[in-house]
Structure 1
Amino acid sequence: MAKQKSAFVCNECGNEYSKWQGQCHDCGEWNTLTEIKLGPAAGKSAPRAVGYAGAAASEVQTLDSINLEDLPRIHSGSSEFDRVLGGGLVPGSAVLIGGHPGAGKSTLLLQTLCRLAQSVPALYVTGEESLQQVAMRAKRLELKADKLQLLSETQLEAILSHAARQRPQVMVVDSVQVLHSDGVTSAPGSVSQVRECAAALTRFAKQSNTIVLLVGHVTKEGSLAGPKVLEHMIDCSIMLEGSSDTRFRTLRGQKNRFGAVNELGVFAMTELGLKEVKNPSAIFLNRQSEPASGSVVMVVWEGTRPLLVEIQALVDSSSVGHPRRVAVGLEQNRLAMLLAVLHRHGGLQVGDQDVFVNVVGGVKVLETSADLALLLAIVSSFRDRPLPEDLVVFGEVGLSGEIRPVPSGQERLQEAAKHGFKRAIVPSGNRPRKALEGMTVVAVDTLAQALDAI
């Protein structure tokens, strides 16, 4: 009998190798190669691919003959969830929701399916919890559970068989890491099992026009567990973030074939589950009564809306030979680069000082519009001079000390004016076309001009 063929797949980039090696040549990561079985041994019949019994056979069509009518989106009942999804759930889509243990993934999906079950057929498949545990959570959250179908199963073929009979319009699988297929010999949670199960569920979603929501675990590094190719299979990848010491959770879209990426939805964890926050800027602007040095409000752009958040900086004398540079919610390397720009073009030397930077509320700022606000907060802390409470700042700082414009400057200023801010320091390229009532806008071209403005 011939030996079953296998390959080694990198968990980070999905590159395949014929034999094991310590480092992946494609992404450069170490000890990320995992063995997978490519197929059954010779002489054995290959397991038949599992699909949807009522699916139509594939046909070749011309491009102009394809129906261009938009598929109607299904609203989840939560405006924040719909915002991250791009306007609602798309029929036939596969959505992957990841997050740390205790973030609220199961709670969010159970709330969503209980609402959807009142109008469309819905199936909740649990592989990590018993049916009694799910029912206890639904009762504690006071959810309407009279029409939601439940299934406790971890075998892929059995799940697809039940789904083919029930024909749900929305199906949740919690979680993809505990599923196993009879056609794969490795243990549940392995690279080959996760990839094959996710591929079969995605194929079922496309063939049956069912919305499939998959729950994924998160590794210690904060990425989704399993092969990187898992993110290429699905249509939408969403991360639910939030630490255990805060009741707020942020839902961020990382990949979306039906909408904008980097959309942000904010929820609050309560006794009755996750409640959406209608005005996220209000919770991030809960500042102290007395002005403090090293604090300033900036306007970041999250997906399709502006968001006002507070950035804090603390500059203190260092007691060690190598001063510390700590950034929470911002990129560490960008902080070091901006400190060099501040020294060269702002005339402020903090090489012998510890610099700590934090974005209030646990928000992760991924865009460069926070550069100017970060430097002004550092200067305020270093000089121990509080900035005005009604001041808002945004702008990108270049290596030559110039202040570059950022996208959607007019909308950022309008959001700040709506929350009562009276002053703004912005790039000259973002100067408003017409004066904003009640707001004084200072447009600057260089970092030196911005420092003079404060």
Structure 2
Amino acid sequence: MPKQKIAFVCSECGSDYSKWQGQCSDCGAWNTLSEIKLGPSKASAKGSARAGFAGQLAQATLLKDINFEDVPRFSSGATEFDRVLGGGLVPGSAILVGGNPGAGKSTLLLQTMCHLAGQMSALYVTGEESLQQVAMRAQRLGLPTDQLRLMAETNIDTIIASAQSLTPKVLVVDSIQVVHSDDVTSAPGSVSQVRECAAALTRFAKQTGTVLILVGHVTKDGTLAGPKVLEHMIDCSILLEGSDDSRFRTLRGQKNRFGAVNELGIFAMTDGGMKEVKNPSAIFLDRSDQPSSGSAVMVVWEGTRPLLVEIQALVDDSQLGNPRRVAVGLEQNRLSMLLAVLHRHGGLQVGDQDVFANVVGGVKVLETSADLALLLAIVSSFRDRLLPRDMVIFGEVGLSGEIRPVPSGQERLSEAAKHGFRRAIVPKANAPKQAIKGMKVMPVTRLSEALAVLEEV
């Protein structure tokens, strides 16, 4: 009887080894290797023992002979969801939806599936809730329930057999952490179970042209639980984020083979389910009627559209030997770097001050266009001087104090003018060639010029 093979797989990066070791050589993580048992291959025929990921033997084709017509998409019924997906659902694609517990993943997907069930065959597989619980949610949200097929199952073989029989165009599995395969000896949710089950479902989706949507949990540190290896085999990875004290949810694309990466969709959690926010800039610019120092408005670029958000800064005397640098919604190391630039090229010393920075509304700013707005908000708080409420600011700040241009400057200014802003401090390279009606644009090339402009307004 042949000896069963054993492999050790890293839960962080998915690398496998023939024997256990304390540290993963690829990602450097410690104590992340888990043991999995490799079962024998089920294929016995000589010609079919090896097959491609889509279930077919690979054939070499000339690049010029490949048909690259647009893949037909269809709408999910939610414009914001379609925006994050790159324009809609693509047949044969595998989509991973992650998020914290209570963020609204199941609610959003149930709304989507009930809408799609009226147009095509759809199957919703739930492994964490009973059929009665899902039905109660659909009734509470007022969703149509006469077309959607629902199944409570966690065995991967049963799920695929039912999908082959029902032939749905869209398949949702909620969630991938509870699905298990009898061929894998480890517990559900482990790296081996998650990887094998996701690979089987993805293979089924590629073979049949079914849209596969997997729900993934997140750990306490905010990363996807276990299936970091899933990001390599799926087509689209999106994350639903939202704080407990806010009813707004952000749907952010992290990987997308069919559209722009880092696209952002805004939803509001209401009694009737997840509602789309058509104009998110108006939501994030809901400023206080009482003006205060340390507040500035910036224009960030999220995916394919501009977004106006408010950034707040607070500078206060430090009672500690090492002053604190706290950034919420911004990169911590970049805040420290910009404070050094402000001291060297702006002549403002805040080394003995606590500096706090926050992006209002829970938005995470990942681009460098917020540098100039952040520094001017810090200066406003330090000097206790109000910034004009009708002024918008954006621009990247270099280490030598220069103000660098950012992409899509014209679109950012047009979005600001549409929301009633009349003044703007922007990099000189982003100054519009033609004047924008009703807006005064003040281009700057260095940080010292921006501070001088701030003194004049």
Q: Give TM-score scaled by structure 1 length.
A: 0.95
Aligned ranges 1:38-437 → 2 under 5 Å: 38-40=38-40, 46=42, 57-58=56-57, 60=59, 62-63=61-62, 64-437=64-437
Give, in whole Å, the separation in 1 of the partners of 2:349 and 2:29: 37
Tell me the CA shift for residue 58 of structure 1: 4.2
1:12 aligns with 2:15: no
CA distance in 2, matches of 1:350, 1:20: 50
Q: Secondary structure at the match of 2:177?
A: helix
Alpha-carbon distance, 1:392 to partner = 0.3
1:31 CA displacement:
2.1
Q: Which amino acid aligns with 1:235?
A: D
Q: Classify the secondary structure of the residue corresponding to 2:124.
A: strand
- Please give the alpha-carbon distance, in whole angstroms, between the structure 1 residues aligned to 2:315 and 2:306: 28
Q: What is the percent sequence identity of the aligned residues?
A: 76
Distance 1:28 1:61, change over 3 A: closer
**Kept in 2: contact 1:47–1:183 (CA 8 A):** no
Change (3 A) 1:178 1:245: same
Q: What is the one-letter code of the residue matched to 1:243?
A: S
Secondary structure of 2:87's match? coil
**SS of the residue 2:434 aligns to:** coil
The residue type equivalent to 2:213 in the other structure is L
CA–CA distance in structure 2, aligned partners of residues 5 and 421 of structure 1: 66
Q: Distance in 2 between matches of 1:332 and 1:66?
A: 46
SS at match of 1:177: coil
Cα distance per residue 1:102-144 (max 9 Å; x no partner): 0000000000000000001000000000000000000000000
1:436-447 equivalence runs, <5 A: 436-447=436-447
Amino acid at match of 1:98: G
Mapped contact 2:55–2:203 kept (Cα < 8 A): no
Instruction: Please give the alpha-carbon distance, in whole angstroms, between the structure 2 residues aligned to 1:19 and 1:347.
Output: 58
The range that moved more, 24-33 or 113-122, is 24-33
Aligned 8 A contact 2:36 2:185 in 1: no
User: Distance between the aligned counterparts of 1:238 and 1:92, measured in 2?
Assistant: 17
SS of residue paired to 2:73? coil
**One-letter amino acid matched to 2:159:** I
Q: Which runs of 5+ in 2 are unaligned?
A: 49-53
Partner Cα distance (1:373, 1:32) in 2: 41
Structure 2 partner of 1:52: none
Q: Deviations over 1:148-203 (max 9, x none)?
A: 00011000000000000000000100000000011111111010000000000110
| Residue type of the alignment partner of 1:229 | V
Q: Could you tell me which amino acid in structure 2 is paired with residue 60 of structure 1?
A: Q
1:62 positional shift: 2.8
Contact 1:113/1:122 (<8 A) preserved: yes
- Measured in 2, the distance between the counterparts of 1:406 and 1:309 equals 16
